[in-house]
Amino acid sequence: YYQPGAGPMMDMGPYYLTALLHLMGPIESIAGATSRGFTQRSVQRPGQQERTIDVDVSTHVAGVVNFHSGAVASIMMSFDVWRAQLPHIEIYGTQGTLSVPDPDRSAGPVKIFTPGDAAFVDIPVDGFAQDSRGIGVADLAYAILNGRQPRAGIDQMYHVLDAMNAFEDSCREGLVYRLRSTAQVPPLLPQNAHEWAQNGD
């Protein structure tokens, strides 16, 4: 977690930035700010004694993400926060607010608030709403069998990796980092596994 190639953005960014890519489209630019809360940390593995390790990465990453669609997102990933009550992802639109569950958990309610509502209302979610961590592997298998591109294709993966690195690059260089990569939003999954298997898509 605390060596080069890791840190909070590399740990959690794939889930959140991929979710934002699916919701908002490809990213145009990022302005990042990073910090390192501690130079050393105490860690302990089960059955081992506590030891001190050096922290060689930023442990708090924040920034502003600009999308080609015109949407703007604020993002924060941190190993320096004990616990928070912030929403995982909320989208503030012209017709209301959409609250999306933690993309790291592959489950949870989707809620919407529109003018005139007294509170957020749950939106029924069909299909892959629970325990869907293996869905990417299944989609890759169907893609190979049916000669199509997988939904989690190489362009999408590279675009998300480019974005994760952009926070640190932007902070280090003191400027807005414009991504050179892009990716298309993949088509939605069918609503149920039976339809998916029958259609091969």
Instruction: Enter the tokens of residue 58.
Output: 């930023």
pLDDT at residue 136, as a whole number: 83
Instruction: Enter the tokens of residue 151.
Output: 């939904």
pLDDT at residue 6, as a whole number: 94
The phi, psi pair for 13, rounded to 5°, reads -55, -40
* 136/124 Cα distance (integer angstroms): 22
Name residue, tokens 């609250």.
99
β-bridge pairing 96-100 and 110-113 = antiparallel
Instruction: Enter the tokens of residue 63.
Output: 């920034």
Name residue, tokens 């590399």.
10
pTM recorded for the entire structure: 0.88
pLDDT at residue 195, as a whole number: 61
Edge to edge, what strands does the sheet with 110-113 contain? 89-93, 96-100, 110-113, 121-123
83: helix, coil or strand? coil
Strands, E, within the chain: which ranges?
27-35, 40-43, 51-54, 60-67, 72-78, 89-93, 96-100, 110-113, 121-123, 177-178
Model confidence pLDDT, tens digit, residues 31-56: 999 999 989 988 888 888 888 999 99
- What residues in the chain have per-residue pLDDT under 50? none
Which among 82, 64, 84 has a CA at the least distance from the CA of 73? 64
Edge to edge, what strands does the sheet with 177-178 contain? 72-78, 60-67, 27-35, 177-178
* 129/106 Cα distance (integer angstroms): 7
Which residues are within 8 A (CB) of 74 and not within 5 positions of it... i.e. 6 or more apart?
A: 62, 63, 64, 65
pLDDT at residue 190, as a whole number: 73
